[in-house]
Chain A
């Protein structure tokens, strides 16, 4: 069929199965917005391009399908930079279409011209500047293929205005959608190296203190089910990183929870004391390893990752396995069953006892608020968790309160946790929650946000109201950039520099109501449960619940940046106990040396 470039672009998106475009129009992309009117694809008009990008990410996190977002040139493309970087660091499949000035104007510093492919080169998996209308279908085919295969990531397609312009005769061509790509340098499918898997199994059989260190790659490969089978056969304790919450049920007895800078004591220490780490789709991020030289000093490493560049980037594995986590785990299970399955493993009860001992001594804990005192975020999270269905999707912001759901929620289903782990983008959670809710209108979706984060992207609640996407926002208002305040308290001698925001300015309830949301304010612990129930009963509009939180509350445990995981700081109430535990461990080490 003969059509112009703009029509071809929308047609290509349709053929790729795109349900929703999150976007924002403008001069250079105008010709592509016209055919949207005639398309079955839903377009959701964000209120800022960054919002559109995070919505596409939220959609992709929740569904596993590529998020699509479309913006115009220049300032819109630069507004898209943050979500692209966010998606790049968290390996989120995404296709971003940007308008560009006409080819003849490129390089002339034309109005709203920026070098979009240049700016985004290092924060996209790939990007493409299309120069002829007839190349649009191929570019889109490649973009979706690259974004969704191998290690997923964002791909940007930059479209000069003249090649989509309906008034330009050269923008017309006979549309044909390619059914395959021709990319001689891109071969994402690697066969599983069965010998490497066998070597890995030998290490698993020999290990006395193994830990499965699970990262976001397991979710990207849709590998949660086989992960459980594997963990149960090997009877191997599991830690799930910030990117992998939900990949393994928190209620499972083998789950130790989250390691890392704000992980729990047992998960952090299990990695430190392990003699074998099976790193599954995890990347030895500095927030997990702490000081790299001191990380898991006695552990041999099996590292499964689809991206070979992750092997040896931070820690050299003893057995590197390149491949999709799900496929590799399937092969592991076959080979494990062939050597006797669970029966092949010796007694590891000493290790399990050590771990459960730590779990008893050092659970997550906090001091409840005294009567009349403002709320504790941990308390709010416990109540919220208990008041929501278990398949609720939670998107979180960044900061002290952003950490609270990753610690206090119980994730029992994959794809219920959405966060900005790699870039740590304040303002991520509201638009990400909107993207997830747009994908799953029947599921409950909560965003948990700090007051600082909320002020960065709150305008997207207008998008949510107008488009009937009733997300719920738990706004943890502690009047501060709390996480930064915590660092200033702990590492800058209480010298608080530019971290105060105020509990009352703005008036969040009025602001939320003006954006079409139902809004509540809670200050008293006794009211928390009832307000959550009220919020959960509202389904026709977004809801914002402002929880007035204590300004001085800190997140523990904490591994200070650059410190060793061995020096994890626990809640003050556990500090003395930890001190004696450390002395005891040092003593028994000396004995074994002798």
Chain B
């Protein structure tokens, strides 16, 4: 099975104007043109006029060039930067509630410690744990937790920045 961290993907950081409905416009565009989103994260930027949407798209489903050009047609899209996985630091957060009765609780705690995760809550039967890290590391952690029985899980979708000293290419709708 392919896991989210394995997918051949493109990560686009899309700077948008903070106007009503802008997220829906971006999401609609992907839905209507048949592009697959692997994950999507939205957050404000230091400039309150803009937000950044970090979109991971799966390369198979979607010609990147068309995605970028169609995104640029949205009036509120200001800038698009491609964060190539090899030239970026990527992070994702997972929160999982796993089944952890007394008999195996210490095993779960041990794994969480090995991965340098955190224990957020404990009850007699379950435990909620969290971990941030590279998407691959999150995949590995999630796979191990499956053995104990995941009750609920939530992943944040990845966010990324260029590695220090690297300048991520600003894309343009017009080929150079």
Contacts and interface: CB of A to CB of B under 8 A. Distances in A.
Interface string B37-80: 00000000000010000000000000001100110111111110
Given A185-B78, A190-B174, A312-B65, A121 B73 contact: no
A313 B67 CA distance: 10
Interface in A180-234: 183-186, 190
Contacts of A121: 21, 24-25, 28
Interface string B66-103: 10011011111111000000000000000000000000
Q: How large is the interface on B (under 10, 10 to 19, 20 to 34, 35 or more residues)?
A: 20 to 34
A129 interface: yes
Contacts of A488: none
Nearest to B28: A121
Nearest to B29: A122
Given A117-B21, A308-B69, A309-B173, A185 B75 contact: yes
A320 B17 CA distance: 29
A309 B70 contact: yes
Which of B24, B65, B75, B78 has the most chain A CB atoms closer than 10 A to its own CB? B75
Given A129-B21, A185-B76, A186-B75, A309 B16 contact: no
Nearest to A193: B174
Contacts of B20: 129, 131
Interface string A238-278: 00000000000000000000000000000000000000000
Contacts of A118: 21, 24
Given A184-B17, A185-B17, A312-B65, A122 B28 contact: yes
Contacts of B25: 121
A353 B72 CA distance: 45
A185 B24 contact: no
Interface residues of A, number: 22
Nearest to A308: B173
Nearest to A183: B75
Contacts of A385: none
A301 interface: no
Interface in A387-438: none
Contacts of B73: 307, 309
Contacts of A322: 173-174
Nearest to B69: A309
Contact of B32 (A122, A125, A131, A186): A122
A311 B21 contact: no
Contacts of A312: 65-66
A311 B24 CA distance: 26
Given A185-B76, A185-B77, A186-B75, A311 B175 contact: yes
Interface in A427-483: none
A146 interface: yes
Interface string A95-137: 0000000000000000000000110011001100101000000
Nearest to A142: B75
Nearest to A130: B20
A183 B25 CA distance: 16
A150 B60 CA distance: 31
A307 B78 CA distance: 16
B176 to A, nearest CB: 10
Contacts of B76: 185
A145 to B, nearest CB: 10
A305 to B, nearest CB: 11
Interface string A166-186: 000000000000000001111
B116 to A, nearest CB: 40
Nearest to A184: B78
Nearest to A155: B75
Contacts of B32: 122
Interface in A56-110: none
B65 A146 contact: no
B47 to A, nearest CB: 10
A184 B75 CA distance: 9
A126 B66 contact: no
Interface in B104-143: none
A320 B75 contact: no
Contact of A185 (B16, B66, B69, B175): B16
A507 B70 CA distance: 49
Nearest to B15: A185
B24 to A, nearest CB: 7
B17 to A, nearest CB: 6
Which of A117, A185, A320 has the most chain B CB atoms closer than 10 A to its own CB? A185
A317 to B, nearest CB: 10
Contacts of B79: 185
Contacts of A190: 174
B78 A309 contact: no
Interface string A272-315: 00000000000000000000000000000000000111011100
A309 B63 CA distance: 12
Nearest to A320: B175
24 contacts: A117-B21, A118-B21, A118-B24, A121-B21, A122-B28, A122-B32, A125-B75, A126-B75, A146-B75, A183-B75, A185-B16, A185-B72, A185-B75, A185-B76, A308-B72, A308-B174, A309-B66, A309-B69, A309-B70, A309-B72, A309-B173, A312-B65, A313-B66, A322-B173
Given A121-B28, A311-B175, 11 more contacts: A117-B21, A118-B24, A121-B21, A121-B25, A122-B28, A122-B32, A129-B21, A131-B20, A185-B74, A185-B76, A308-B173
Closest 7 CB pairs of A and B: A309-B69, A185-B78, A308-B173, A126-B75, A322-B174, A186-B75, A185-B77
